[in-house]
Amino acid sequence: AKAIAFAADKPLVGVHHIEGHISANFIENKDLEPPFICLVVSGGHSHLVVVKDYGEYEIIGRTRDDAAGEAFDKVSKEGNPDAIVFPRAKVDGSTYDFSFSGLKSAVLNYLNSCEMKGIAVNQADVAASFQKAVIDVLVGHSMEAVSQYHLNKFAIAGGVASNTSLRAAFEKACRDKGLEFYHPSPVYCTDNAAMI
């Protein structure tokens, strides 16, 4: 992009990747206007953002280790989500930050323990229970932020925002709290030119 801009004597306008994901919501949701809370969840990022105005953001929570999408990438997603109870991590000193490395370790410890004891593992149940633990944390932090900041609009963005279980959990949580819920179509959740 820099070379093309230089060769064509055109300005180059940088757009932050996370801002692009948040902006993907504006493509199809013409009624969405700031302020609102947006959870950006992707392979590399888990950010909880107060969108104060167009182009004005405050990151109130972020991953401290592994992003939700990176954690999802390590574990498949089918089976009984209530089969195994995995931990829901809280980060000391930060209400809205995320930590998923301990959850990944808990899954590994569970699998190793089953192997050592000769217990058969239902991989689909492990995956679904893992997914539920991640979603519970994402939804819990997000709904707490919406309440704390007294906003009535919530959006999700990023590659993981196309996950049907995550969408369903947020639809229910927002409906229960009387919030307007926004999300891009799955085609706009992954990295794409339209969001920029």
pLDDT value for 147: 95
Average pLDDT over residues 138-146: 95
Place of tokens 């679904």: 128
Q: Is 91 helix (H, G, I), strand (E, B) or coil?
A: strand
pLDDT digits (tens, 9 = 90+) for 28-54: 999 999 999 999 998 778 899 999 999
pTM score, whole prediction = 0.84
Q: Does 81 score more than 80 pLDDT?
A: yes
Range of weakest confidence among 17-26, 124-133, 143-152: 124-133
Whole-number Å distance between alpha carbons of 98 and 147: 18
Q: Does 77 score more than 70 pLDDT?
A: no
Average pLDDT over residues 151-177: 95
Q: Does 76 score more than 60 pLDDT?
A: no
Tokens representing residue 83 in the block: 């089969």
The answer to whether the bond into 81 is cis (omega within 30° of 0) is: no
Sequence-distant (6+) residues with CB within 8 A of 142 are 37, 39, 48, 154, 170, 173
Q: Does 156 score more than 90 pLDDT?
A: yes
Mean pLDDT in the chain? 90
